[in-house]
């Protein structure tokens, strides 16, 4: 598979020579009888630096379809209704792999979210699937989808081209874009669905012009299409619910495109991690890969943050994450290895945790004891990759999250047994 590089570049690509118009977007007769379609993921009048749109040249207009009807698959994809929201710290075991045949769409399980699809907020989902998609495509009209695989490779076919991702990579599918997920075996992972401002790279402030996720490491597919005249199901998520319709050809019939609203992938191993070289554990915002800002400066609708392998060198420092109460709500997942705040076990690859607004969390008793006793030589935290979806709004949980069978009953117990401080008499 081939890629174009750079974050939010204005790309131009054609799968057939001569398919991409030169010098204009909508010529009277595009080459070969293709149809021009503008795909807008920001308002026309969004400021230039925010503006995202692409021009697609396709074999048939997207408009050629009948009415969408309610879709009854994906039984655990849900919009949280607030009835299960809790201040309690929550932790989940991984989703079991499905026993029946389940593809990526039907394998999506919503754990939580906030806001609403027509303004801002996020949806938090896990997926577990074992079947590939062929004559089926998914369109999420509610938000862009940040896919974080934990187990198994995904080949993601989108209207703008194909990309492959393995655990340790992420992929981003713009809101409204059709895609299918091809797999060769069981897969599992996480999805952050973003209803707010599209994810972008964070400002670097005093860090300077380089560092964290560098723009050139983001990869966008080149144009790719298939010419298939057979029935394809389009499943659409719209206002929290799923809808379905059938068209008589493949939706992946875009022969050429140009623009800056496009899918991309990123290898998290490329993240240029910053940390202290003196003392103290810096705020985890230094590990932000992508951010969806809200209208309050510095207060994100969603930050996507990772905890990658890194050197720990802080002197006279409690090195793991400190104890914390946070106005922002924190949902975490683990791709592989051990997370340095949870050395006592229980936070396992494929599992998840939630620390909602202002509820105390931090290192478990085991990690705390070790971190206070350890000889502070430089050490490398290796073979680990955890991440966080951090949001300004309380994360509401779903019925599945609370009653679906993976919630651990005893998470609070990991913070038992701290010795009381002894004050001088």
Ligand X SMILES: O=C(O)Cc1cc(O)ccc1O
Please give the residue ranges that form the binding site for Fe ion (CB under 5 A).
Answer: 324, 326, 330
Q: Are 191 and 147 in contact (CB under 8 A)?
A: yes
Name the minimum Å distance from CB 321 to ligand X. Answer: 3
Question: Which is nearer to ligand X, 152 or 320 (by Cβ)?
Answer: 320
d(CA 351, CA 28): 53
Question: Which is nearer to ligand X, 125 or 355 (by Cβ)?
Answer: 355
Q: How many CB atoms neighbour CB 96 within 10 A?
A: 11
Judged by DSSP in three states, 40 sits in strand
Name the minimum Å distance from CB 89 to ligand X. Answer: 10
d(CA 378, CA 382): 13
Name the minimum Å distance from CB 390 to ligand X. Answer: 8
Residue ranges that bind ligand X, judged by CB under 6 A: 284, 321, 324, 330, 341, 355, 361, 388
d(CA 16, CA 255): 7
Question: Which is nearer to ligand X, 341 or 371 (by Cβ)?
Answer: 341
Pairing of strands 352-355, 90-92: antiparallel
Helix-then-strand count for the chain, H and E? 2, 28
For residue 361, say whether it is annotated as part of any ligand binding site.
yes
Question: Which is nearer to Fe ion, 217 or 330 (by Cβ)?
Answer: 330
Q: For the chain, percent helix, then strand, then coil, each to nearest 5?
A: 10, 35, 55
Torsion sign across C-alpha atoms 148, 152, 158, 161? positive
Name the minimum Å distance from CB 330 to ligand X. Answer: 5
Q: How many CB atoms neighbour CB 53 within 10 A?
A: 17
**CB-based contacts of 11: which residues, under 8 Å, 6+ apart?**
4, 220, 257, 258, 259, 260, 262
111, 116, 117, 123: CA torsion to nearest 10: -20
Residue with smallest beta-carbon separation from Fe ion: 324
Name the minimum Å distance from CB 411 to ligand X. Answer: 12
Residues involved in catalysis? 281
Name the minimum Å distance from CB 212 to ligand X. Answer: 15
Residue with smallest beta-carbon separation from ligand X: 321
Question: Which is nearer to Fe ion, 240 or 333 (by Cβ)?
Answer: 333
d(CA 265, CA 147): 9
Q: Are 321 and 363 in contact (CB under 8 A)?
A: yes
Q: How many residues does the chain have?
A: 425
Question: Which is nearer to ligand X, 10 or 325 (by Cβ)?
Answer: 325
- Residue 40's binding partner among ligand X, Fe ion, none (Cβ under 5 to 8 angstroms by kind) is none
- Residue 284's binding partner among ligand X, Fe ion, none (Cβ under 5 to 8 angstroms by kind) is ligand X
d(CA 360, CA 362): 7
In 20-121, alpha helices (H): none
Residue numbers belonging to the annotated binding site for homogentisate? 361
């Amino acid at each position: 598979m081939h890629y174009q590089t750079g974050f939010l570049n204005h790309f131009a690509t054609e799968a057939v020579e001569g398919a991409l118009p030169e010098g204009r977007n909508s010529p009277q007769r595009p080459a070969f009888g293709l149809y021009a379609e503008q795909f807008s993921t920001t308002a026309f009048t969004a400021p230039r630096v925010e503006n995202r749109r692409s021009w697609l040249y396709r074999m048939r207009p997207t408009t050629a379809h009948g009415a969408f009807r309610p879709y009854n698959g994906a039984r655990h994809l849900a919009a949280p209704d607030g009835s299960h929201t809790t201040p309690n710290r929550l932790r989940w075991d991984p989703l079991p792999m499905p026993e029946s045949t389940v593809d990526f769409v039907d394998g999506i399980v919503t754990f939580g979210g906030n806001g609403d699809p027509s303004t801002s907020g996020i949806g938090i989902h896990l997926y577990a699937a074992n079947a590939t998609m062929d004559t089926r495509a998914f369109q999420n009209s509610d938000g862009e989808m940040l896919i974080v695989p934990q187990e198994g490779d995904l080949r993601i076919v989108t209207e703008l081209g194909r990309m492959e991702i393995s655990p340790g990579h992420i992929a981003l599918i713009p809101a409204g874009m059709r895609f299918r997920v091809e797999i060769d075996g069981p897969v599992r992972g996480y999805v952050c669905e973003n209803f707010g401002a599209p994810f972008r790279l964070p400002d670097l402030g005093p860090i300077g012009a380089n560092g964290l996720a560098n723009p050139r490491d983001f990869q966008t597919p080149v144009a790719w299409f298939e010419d298939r005249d057979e029935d394809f199901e389009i499943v659409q998520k719209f206002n929290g619910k799923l809808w379905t319709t059938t068209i008589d050809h493949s939706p992946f019939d875009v022969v050429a495109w140009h623009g800056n609203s496009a899918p991309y992938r990123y290898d998290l191993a490329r993240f240029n991690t910053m940390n202290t070289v003196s003392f103290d554990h810096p705020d985890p915002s230094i590990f932000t890969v992508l951010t969806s800002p809200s209208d309050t400066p510095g207060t994100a609708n969603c930050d996507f943050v990772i905890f990658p392998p890194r050197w720990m060198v802080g002197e006279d420092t409690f090195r793991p994450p400190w104890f914390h109460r946070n106005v922002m709500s924190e949902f975490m997942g683990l791709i592989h290895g051990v997370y340095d705040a949870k050395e006592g076990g229980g936070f396992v690859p494929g599992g998840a945790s939630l620390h909602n607004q202002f509820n105390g969390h931090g290192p478990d008793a085991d990690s705390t004891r070790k971190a206070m006793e350890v000889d502070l030589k430089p050490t490398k935290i290796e073979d680990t990759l955890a991440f966080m979806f951090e949001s300004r709004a309380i994360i509401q949980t779903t019925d599945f999250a609370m009653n679906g069978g993976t919630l651990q009953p005893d998470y609070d117990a990991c913070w038992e047994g701290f010795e009381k401080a002894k004050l001088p008499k």
